Amino acid sequence: MSKKSGPRFTRGMLILSPFAKAFTSRGGDIKALLVRNGIPAGALTDPAMLVDASACYSALEDMAETLGDPYFGAKVAIETAKKGTQAFRDSATHALNFGDFLSRLVEEVRKQVNNVRYSVSISPGMSSFDIHRTVSVTKPSTQLDAIGVALYATLIKKGIGKTFDPKDILITVPTTQGLPPGFLPKQALIRSQIDGLRISFPTHWLWAPFSLDWDLVKKSRGEFASDGRREATLSYLRDMLKDNIAHQDLTLNVFALICRQHPRRIQRILWANGTSYSQMKDDVRQSITEDLLSNTTLPIAQIALQVGLSSSAVLDRAFRRWTGKTPSGFRGDLPRHRA
């Protein structure tokens, strides 16, 4: 006999907390609302407590109906996206671009809920971010759908900045009734009986620099986490610098454009790892120079150009500073294997 699967769950604090606060601030009785929808009071304070997803959906509809505000959910979602939450920040902090943010978000949500599945599909012209609900709703999902559209459209707009163009985004959703008028152009919204939400956008957005840059008080930035992620990010920056070191005048601003990052973000990452852009550039130049001196017969002037320096004299001064030797002296001290 096959066992029936349990109810699809979500973390109540993650989903309901900002809406419960807004509901209470507008005079709503949150305790009574939780009782009506069969949700334990601890769900708003215990991040580990799991709640039946259907109950959360019903509670959101209940809040809007009680307040008589059909746009309640969307308004709170917009403010939440602007102010920030730690869960989204954890995904955004380590993201190198919008596509990286989406891939990290898919993994983050998988840890928090099992009532939705996130996925990203990519094609040459348009790509899509899909949110598929795995639980059926017993009431109209006006608030739920509006929250999804408002939250993610605002996150994307804030994250990619000037790259965002409302004429280029297309959102497919069961209903748009809970969205405030004018939030998005009408042509950006399509109603379809899908079990969730689909956001389509130009594929080139995936490579747009992504930064939410929220000011969350007393929350450590992800770059400072004592795990392997910051090392991976530093390794990425080093590799990008090695690939582009031959460019002369490779300033931080130019390098940030190559990496599709904001210069301040790169500075923060390097500072968190105890270095600076200038130091990392010196380290990369020294490493490449020593490798070329040791393993090739390239002229010194040619090596200088390959590490982004204008002449052998400039490389000579830099190499003395790094090693106390001249490039010629370093090469002359190497053991020679003659045929």
Please say which residue of 184, 207, 230 terminates a domain.
207
What's the one-letter identity of residue 246? A
**% the chain with pLDDT above 70:** 84
Least Cα distance to 100 among 124, 120, 118, 80 occurs for 120
Domain for residue 114, yes or no?
Answer: yes
148-161 per-position pLDDT tens digit: 999 999 999 999 99
Domain for residue 159, yes or no?
Answer: yes
Query: What's the pLDDT at 250?
Result: 86
Same domain assignment for residues 197 and 276: no
Same domain assignment for residues 51 and 106: no
Name the domain count of the chain. 3
SS3 letters for 236-286?
Answer: HHHHHHHHHCCCCCCCHHHHHHHHCCCHHHHHHHHHHCCCCHHHHHHHHHH
Q: Give the Cα separation of 69 and 339 in Å (integer).
A: 86
**DSSP letter at 331?**
H
Please say which residue of 180, 207, 234 terminates a domain.
207
Q: Give the Cα separation of 213 and 236 in Å (integer).
A: 21
Same domain assignment for residues 196 and 303: no
pTM of the model: 0.61
Least Cα distance to 131 among 200, 188, 198 occurs for 198
Query: What's the pLDDT at 216?
Result: 43
**How high does pLDDT run on average in the chain?**
82
Same domain assignment for residues 249 and 327: yes
Same domain assignment for residues 126 and 149: yes
Query: What's the pLDDT at 62?
Result: 94
Q: Give the Cα separation of 304 and 311 in Å (integer).
A: 6
Positive/negative CA dihedral, 268, 202, 187, 135: negative
pLDDT at 319 over 90: yes
pLDDT at 217 over 70: no
Q: Find out whether 307 and 322 touch, Cβ atoms under 8 Å.
A: no
Residue 164: which H helix or E strand, with range? none
Query: What's the pLDDT at 230?
Result: 56
Domain for residue 75, yes or no?
Answer: no
Query: What's the pLDDT at 337?
Result: 44
Same domain assignment for residues 288 and 203: no
Same domain assignment for residues 44 and 157: no
The CATH number of whichever domain residue 314 belongs to comes to 1.10.10.60
Structure tokens at 183: 């939030």
Same domain assignment for residues 253 and 140: no
**Could you tell me where the DSSP H helices lie in the chain?**
12-25, 30-36, 53-67, 72-83, 86-93, 98-112, 142-160, 228-244, 252-259, 263-272, 277-295, 300-306, 312-323, 327-332
49-108 per-position pLDDT tens digit: 778 888 888 899 999 999 999 999 999 999 988 887 666 776 777 778 899 888 888 777
Same domain assignment for residues 124 and 44: no
Domain for residue 236, yes or no?
Answer: yes
Q: Once rounded to an integer, what is the mean pLDDT over residues 28-42?
A: 91
Least Cα distance to 60 among 134, 130, 150 occurs for 150
170 backbone dihedrals φ, ψ, rounded to 5°? -135, 120
Domain for residue 321, yes or no?
Answer: yes
Structure tokens at 115: 């009532």
Domain for residue 337, yes or no?
Answer: no
Same domain assignment for residues 53 and 13: yes
Please say which residue of 69, 100, 119 terminates a domain.
69
Query: What's the pLDDT at 50?
Result: 76
293 backbone dihedrals φ, ψ, rounded to 5°? -65, -35
Q: Give the Cα separation of 76 and 41 in Å (integer).
A: 20
Q: pLDDT band for position 9 (50/70/90)?
A: low
250-290 per-position pLDDT tens digit: 888 888 887 767 888 888 888 877 788 999 999 999 999 99
Domain for residue 253, yes or no?
Answer: yes
**DSSP letter at 210?**
-
Q: Give the Cα separation of 291 and 283 in Å (integer).
A: 12
Same domain assignment for residues 146 and 226: no
Domain for residue 212, yes or no?
Answer: no
pLDDT at 333 over 90: no
pLDDT at 233 over 60: yes
pLDDT at 206 over 90: yes
**Structural domain range at position 62:** 9-69
Same domain assignment for residues 86 and 200: yes
